[in-house]
Amino acid sequence: MAIATPTIAPGPDKTAGPARKKTGQASRSWLAALPLLLFLALAFGIPAIAVLIGAFTVEDPVNNTSRLGLENMTDSLQGAYRTALWASVKLSAFVAVVGGVLGTFLAQAVVASKGTFLREAVLTASGVLANFGGVPLAFAWIATLGNAGLLTTMFGLGDTGFSLYTFWGLAIVYLYFSIPLMVVVMTPALDGLRPQWREAALNNGASGWQYWRHVGVPVLTPALIGGMVLLFGGSFAAYATAAAMVGATVPLVTLQIADALSGNVLVGHENLALALSLDMVIVAGIVMAIYLPLRNRSSRWLQ
């Protein structure tokens, strides 16, 4: 006679509840981010696809047809367009380095200051000036240091050969909003330097210079380089200030794009403007590819 073996029902899985709960939270978090993702797709995705397609679309005015090709991208890297692209890179690099160094020193002075009012005043002014640009900024500088500006007339700067409508004049104007932006970026990083690090270095016989060389600067390097890259991107994409102040005097890629779109140089070269825009997108992508890992590394150091 066979003896039936009792079947033991499996007990409840204690891990199923938390795992199921985490999965439900993850799905709900994606649903919460869905409006933002849709906005990004509409605001950035569709224009990016349009620029990409237009940059590789070659128009034939004779047959009134279009085809895919590399002619627009090739033309965007030759002649005056290459000169404008290189000038934009040089201007942005100069503003990034000089603005990064001066902004870091100013941020350190703010952090080391014991006056709360001075700190708040400088940070508030930096936040405002970092977003002050465009035509109003160009007008302010023209009224101050233009050919008939207040300071130019008062001190006779025109007799010395000084001109605001040059590469270096535009660089000075860009530094006006780049240095405050660097202050805003570097102040939290400088606040993150722990006093225990300096005390430990001094207790081990290190001087102030040695502390900054071996501890402070290495820790701040990711944030410093990240801020400079941010200044580079902001100067590289700036248009309104340069258009209102220098026009065609200083060749910049943003001004070349505007001329190509409006047909001021050659009619029917809108796709060439899209190719120039794609060049800028590639440069901006490289900038962000450098900036984001450095920002993440800096945040780990300064936690």
Distances (CA, A) of 57 to 51, 54, 60, 265, 278: 10, 5, 10, 19, 13
Q: Is 58 helix (H, G, I), strand (E, B) or coil?
A: strand
Taking a C-beta distance cutoff of 8 angstroms, is the pair 227, 103 a contact? yes
Distances (CA, A) of 88 to 53, 81, 136, 146: 24, 11, 21, 22
Picking from 61-75, 118-132, 149-163, 221-235, which range would have the lowest pLDDT averaged per residue? 61-75
Contacts of 259 (CB under 8 A, 6+ apart): 248, 265
- Quick one: which of 45, 74, 54 has its CA closest to 273? 54
How confident is the model at residue 268, as a pLDDT?
Answer: 58
Percent of the chain with pLDDT over 70: 84
How confident is the model at residue 2, as a pLDDT?
Answer: 47
- In the chain, domain spans: 80-301
* Model pLDDT for residues 225-251, shown as the tens digit of each residue: 888 988 998 899 889 999 989 887 888
Residue 268 belongs to what H/E stretch? none
- Quick one: which of 268, 279, 191, 179 has its CA closest to 227? 179
Cα(230)–Cα(225) distance, integer angstroms? 9
Distances (CA, A) of 154 to 116, 163, 217: 37, 15, 42
The torsion defined by the Cα of 165, 166, 169 and 175, in degrees rounded to 10, comes to 120
Distances (CA, A) of 255 to 64, 184, 204, 246, 263: 28, 29, 56, 10, 12
The torsion defined by the Cα of 195, 197, 203 and 204, in degrees rounded to 10, comes to -170
Taking a C-beta distance cutoff of 8 angstroms, is the pair 150, 143 a contact? yes
Cα(45)–Cα(39) distance, integer angstroms? 9
pLDDT confidence tier of residue 10, bands split at 50, 70 and 90: low
For the segment(s) 80-301, the CATH number from 3.40.50.2300, 3.40.50.300, 1.10.3720.10, 3.90.550.10 is 1.10.3720.10
Q: Is 57 helix (H, G, I), strand (E, B) or coil?
A: strand
